[in-house]
């Protein structure tokens, strides 16, 4: 339908959407004098401000959309995120008004046997579990037209998002507490015959009170359901399933014969990351990382985080023992080991801001998937729980920030970065078109000495040579070390066959999409933060105002003293 031209046509769309009953529509029209609104946008803003509509609902109606507000018995309130697999919505049960999180497969994945199997497995495992530290599954439905899971809604962020938000590792007592809570939830799963097989910071969610829950059982092993495991192996092959940065040695050899001790190992890797801010084995290809988990010892925690107590380090090392028999034999043992060191810590974050950022990143991934400017090296033998079949996600691994865009409304409470009503493919094309119109400058800032290097041209080369655009004459840096180039949807950094390589967020790469917020490491020892030039503009403007005000006060004070002395 066309976009509403005025308040009257907007109210017509509102009534057609059935978001409000006809009586309720008449009531809000009279109470808020909406017929006198100067525009459709003003009417929408009023209803959002008064909490009659959500930001998402207001944006869709302004886009001329009247369908898609209801999925089965759930009314969609907001978008929590979306990507190559589908969308995650905040919704409410129209019968009970209980809020839920709805994970809905998109059209492409609804016809993908692998995605359907994973979602059904996640629902089956989740429905068996009822525990304070496990996200509860409420309903699964596949009607053919739509496939979704309704889950317990948690107003929280993942532990990965928490580390990125802080931009450093977490305090030891807090780490011990969140791992302890996760272990409690996993002990419940293990007792129900379920092995998670994909534990990592992204799959642990924490709320503002510090409560942690385990989620995403999409690659779980159900001991009493061999049919589900057979389906996974038929679809994804007989190789291992899991995430290479956190996978246990025995899981990469035979994922179907693992037990609870496999989860102990992955949870230990997660604890290592939370304590240090580093992955146990950050470098190399997928197969090299898997081999490292089997044969190598990670960098000692004492070298990275010397303040972590030796007793806590010993717990991590035991959880990450190569042989299952050398680890804690159950999550119950992990809980008992962590209790003396754990302390519950409230967490501060702006949930709406985090959700908005998730949406921007997802839009970036969709756009980049369209442009295909990065050709990742992937192993066909491993299926990650985050994106088993999402090659778009793999192409943009490491994206954590996206240059801001504007939606139709930018004032009075409606989401500035609203999700368009179109499919992700259409969104991708829109994002590509918007971003390719002009170069969005970035800069890299040395974490060591705060030196700034602006990157404003289509291609910028960094190296030791005098003719490089950015001359960085330091030991270990090659003559032409790396290049930054802007292509279609954003910035890409490429290794120019340097001797000591480059890393993005701790991962050695050849070519990688980068956005503000990424950490760039050259030659293993020079660390930079990727930033948008306007990222600090507000701070600079504020600082300039303070300086100007101080100067004016100073002038006034001198003038006053002079007048007093002369009078």
Instruction: Give binding residues for ATP as ranges.
Output: 103
Query: What is the Cα 426 distance to its own chain's centre?
Result: 22
Terminal Cα distance for the chain, rounded:
76
Distance CA 139, CA 363 (A): 28
- Collapse the DSSP code of 514 into the 3-class scheme (helix H, G, I; strand E, B; otherwise coil) and give the result: strand
Find the Cα–Cα–Cα–Cα dihedral 390, 407, 158, 272, rounded to 10°: 80
Distance CA 442, CA 206 (A): 32
Residue 72 neighbours by CB under 8 Å, 6+ apart: 141, 146, 148
Find the Cα–Cα–Cα–Cα dihedral 56, 59, 62, 66, rounded to 10°: -30
Distance CA 236, CA 230 (A): 10
Give which of 231, 207, 201, 204 is closest to 219, Cα–Cα.
Answer: 231
Distance CA 476, CA 526 (A): 9
DSSP string for residues in 24-65: HHHHHHHHTTGGG-SSHHHHHHHHHHTTSS-HHHHHHHHTT-
Annotated binding site: 103
Distance CA 187, CA 208 (A): 24
Residue 185 neighbours by CB under 8 Å, 6+ apart: 129, 131, 132, 133, 134, 212, 213, 214
Residue 58 neighbours by CB under 8 Å, 6+ apart: 44, 45, 47, 48, 409, 414
Helix axes 331-338, 260-276, angle to 10 degrees: 30
Give which of 331, 288, 164 is closest to 280, Cα–Cα.
Answer: 288
């Amino acid at each position: 339908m066309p976009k509403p031209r005025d308040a009257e046509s907007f109210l017509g769309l509102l009534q057609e959407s059935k978001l409000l009953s006809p009586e309720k529509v008449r009531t809000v029209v009279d109470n808020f004098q909406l017929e006198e609104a100067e525009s459709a946008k003003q009417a929408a803003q009023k209803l959002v401000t008064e909490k009659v509509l959500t930001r998402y609902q207001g944006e869709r109606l302004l886009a001329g959309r009247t369908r898609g507000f209801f999925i089965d018995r759930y009314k969609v309130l907001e978008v929590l995120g979306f990507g190559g697999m589908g969308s995650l919505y905040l919704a409410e049960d129209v019968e009970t008004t209980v809020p839920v999180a709805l994970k809905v497969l998109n059209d492409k994945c609804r016809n993908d046997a692998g995605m359907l199997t994973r979602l059904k497995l996640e629902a089956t495992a989740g429905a068996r579990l009822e525990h304070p530290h496990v996200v509860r599954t409420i309903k699964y439905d596949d009607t053919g037209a739509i496939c979704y899971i309704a889950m317990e809604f948690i107003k929280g962020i993942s532990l990965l998002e928490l580390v990125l938000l802080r931009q450093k590792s977490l305090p030891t007592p807090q780490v011990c507490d969140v791992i302890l809570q996760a272990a409690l939830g996993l002990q419940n799963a293990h007792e129900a015959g379920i092995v998670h097989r994909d534990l990592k910071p992204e799959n642990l969610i924490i709320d503002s009170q510090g409560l942690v829950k385990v989620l995403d059982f999409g690659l779980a092993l159900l001991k009493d359901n061999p049919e589900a495991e057979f389906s996974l192996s038929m679809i994804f092959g007989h190789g291992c399933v899991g995430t290479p940065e956190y996978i246990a040695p025995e899981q990469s050899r035979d994922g179907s014969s693992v037990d609870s001790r496999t989860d102990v190992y992955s949870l230990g890797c997660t604890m290592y990351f939370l304590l240090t801010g580093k992955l146990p084995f950050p470098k190399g290809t997928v197969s090299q990382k898997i081999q490292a988990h089997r044969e190598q010892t990670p960098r000692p925690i004492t070298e990275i985080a010397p303040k972590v107590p030796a007793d806590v380090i010993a717990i991590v090392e035991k959880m990450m023992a190569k042989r299952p028999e050398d680890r804690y034999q159950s999550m119950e043992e992990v809980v008992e080991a962590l209790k003396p060191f754990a302390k519950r810590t409230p967490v501060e974050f702006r949930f709406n801001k985090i959700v908005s950022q998730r949406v921007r990143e997802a839009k970036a991934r969709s756009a980049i998937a369209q442009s295909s400017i990065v050709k990742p090296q992937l192993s066909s033998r491993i299926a990650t729980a985050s994106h088993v079949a999402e090659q778009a996600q793999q192409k943009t691994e490491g994206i954590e920030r996206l240059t801001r865009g504007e939606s139709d409304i930018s004032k009075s409470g409606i989401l500035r970065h609203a999700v368009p009503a179109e499919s992700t493919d259409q969104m991708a094309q829109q994002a590509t078109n918007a971003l390719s119109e002009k170069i969005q400058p970035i800069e890299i800032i040395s974490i060591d000495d705060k030196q700034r290097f602006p990157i404003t041209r289509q291609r910028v080369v960094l190296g030791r040579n005098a003719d490089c655009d950015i001359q960085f004459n330091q030991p270990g840096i090659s003559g032409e070390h790396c290049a930054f180039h802007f292509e279609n949807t954003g910035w890409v950094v490429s290794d120019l066959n340097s001797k000591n390589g480059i890393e993005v967020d701790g991962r050695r790469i050849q070519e990688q999409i980068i956005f503000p917020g990424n950490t760039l490491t050259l030659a293993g020892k020079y660390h930079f933060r990727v930033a948008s030039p306007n990222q600090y503009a507000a701070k600079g403007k504020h600082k300039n105002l303070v300086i100007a005000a101080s100067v004016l006060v100073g002038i006034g004070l001198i003038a006053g003293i002079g007048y007093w002395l002369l009078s």
